[in-house]
Amino acid sequence: MELKIISPQEGGFIKEIKWNNEELKAEIAEKMRDYKNLVFTEETIKDAKADRAKLNKLKSAFEEERKRIKKLCMFPYDEFEKQVKEVVALIDEPIRLIDQQIKEVEEQKKVEKKGKILEVYEGMIGTLKGVVPFEKLFRPEYLNMSKSMKSITEELTETIQRINNDLDTIEGFGSKYELQIKDAYLRTLDLSSAMREKARLEEVEMRLKEKKEAEERREEERKAAKQESLQAEQSPITEEESQPEDSAKNNGTVQQEEKQEEKFYQMDFRVWGTREQIMGLRQYLIDNKIKFGKVE
């Protein structure tokens, strides 16, 4: 079965298409030099368009001849190519049939190998089976012919041992978020991911606690301010008025005693004024930390 070219033989192929290219090239180059120095104006633009049309026509003539010669040269090859493809098609059919059978055999081997890998998994997974399914540990490259069952078994053993150790580490944290941390770990089988989830949960808890404490403080301050406001409205200052001379005397006595030692003294007096003035006096007493109250 040998493909033999009967006609043309190697010496019979067209090796060169001879034509008067050099003669035409020289003649056209000479004429084209005339166009390089031409300057067209608005008055001669009509001549420019006519010259352009002539040049395009000349160019088209060469292109059309080139295409005609190419078609003549390619005709025997196109026929030859068509005939070769018909013969190749006869060969392709059994190739496809053989390929299909090879793929079926190889696929069956992969199925059998995956079953053996599953048996190895079942024999060593233990209590992790419910949380680490087979497909989580299986790798498509395990089915390659170059991957031996020995190396696969070693990888599975190492991986399962690592998972057990990581879960023990998580339990050792004693965290209230142990279930959430384990869930994060089992999604990726990456201990660093679990550690980031632990840190995130603890940070969220801390922020919520701080927010709650701040809200409680604000609520206590609001209630205290409201209580003081109610007391001021319901119990205005009603201390007894003293005589000017008594006030001066008492005031002098108080100042003298305050200089001697820091003690608290009581003085009852009555004042008159508008509500704004009374409230202003009350605020003054509060600002200066002077204790006051209703006279019984």
Give pLDDT tens digits for 129-152.
Answer: 889 999 999 999 999 999 999 999
The answer, yes or no, to whether residue 57 has pLDDT greater than 60, is yes
User: Which of 46-50, 78-82, 230-234 is the most confident on average?
Assistant: 78-82
Q: What's the confidence (pLDDT) of residue 241?
A: 41
Q: What's the confidence (pLDDT) of residue 244?
A: 46
pLDDT in tens, 102-120: 999 999 999 999 999 999 9
Domain total of the chain: 2
Domain boundary among 163, 197, 212: 212
Average pLDDT over residues 222-245: 62
Q: How sure is the predictor about 293, in pLDDT bands with cuts at 50, 70 and 90?
A: confident
Dist. CA 161–CA 168, nearest whole Å: 11
What percent of the chain is predicted at pLDDT more than 70? 83
Q: What is the mean pLDDT of the chain?
A: 84
Q: What's the confidence (pLDDT) of residue 291?
A: 79
Of residues 246 and 196, more confidently modeled: 196
Report the Cα 274 to chain-centroid distance in Å: 67
Residues 136 and 196 reside in one and the same domain:
yes
Q: Which residues of 148-179 are buried (b: 16+ CB within 10 A; e: fewer)?
A: eeeebbeebeebbeebeebbeebeeeeeebee
Instruction: Note the pTM of the prediction, 2 decimals.
Output: 0.50
Dist. CA 293–CA 282, nearest whole Å: 10
Average pLDDT over residues 167-192: 92
Query: Quick one: 132 exposed, middle or buried, by C-beta within 10 A (0-12, 13-18, 19+)?
Result: buried
Residue at 84 is within a domain: no
Average pLDDT over residues 270-277: 81
Average pLDDT over residues 232-260: 51
What percent of the chain is predicted at pLDDT more than 90? 46
Dist. CA 9–CA 5, nearest whole Å: 7
Residues 147 and 208 reside in one and the same domain:
yes
Residue at 146 is within a domain: yes
Q: What's the confidence (pLDDT) of residue 256?
A: 53
Residue at 80 is within a domain: no
**Structural domain boundaries, residue 148:** 127-212
Q: How sure is the predictor about 42, in pLDDT bands with cuts at 50, 70 and 90?
A: confident
Residues 134 and 182 reside in one and the same domain:
yes
Structure tokens at 209: 């606690």
Q: What's the confidence (pLDDT) of residue 235?
A: 56
The answer, yes or no, to whether residue 37 has pLDDT greater than 50, is yes
Q: What's the confidence (pLDDT) of residue 243?
A: 43
The answer, yes or no, to whether residue 286 has pLDDT greater than 60, is yes
Residues 259 and 195 reside in one and the same domain:
no
Structure tokens at 30: 């000479």
Q: What's the confidence (pLDDT) of residue 268?
A: 73
Evaluated on CA atoms 164, 165, 171, 175, the torsion sign reads negative
Do you find a cis peptide bond into 140, omega within 30 degrees of 0? no
pLDDT in tens, 162-174: 999 999 999 998 9
Q: What's the confidence (pLDDT) of residue 102?
A: 93
Count of beta carbons in the 10 Å neighbourhood of residue 104? 10
Domain boundary among 212, 245, 275: 212
Residues 251 and 208 reside in one and the same domain:
no
Q: What's the confidence (pLDDT) of residue 94?
A: 92
Q: What's the confidence (pLDDT) of residue 39?
A: 82
Q: What's the confidence (pLDDT) of residue 186?
A: 93
Residue at 184 is within a domain: yes
> Phi/psi at 7 (nearest 5 deg)?
-150, 130
Judge whether 35 and 56 are in contact, CB under 8 Å: no
Average pLDDT over residues 49-72: 90
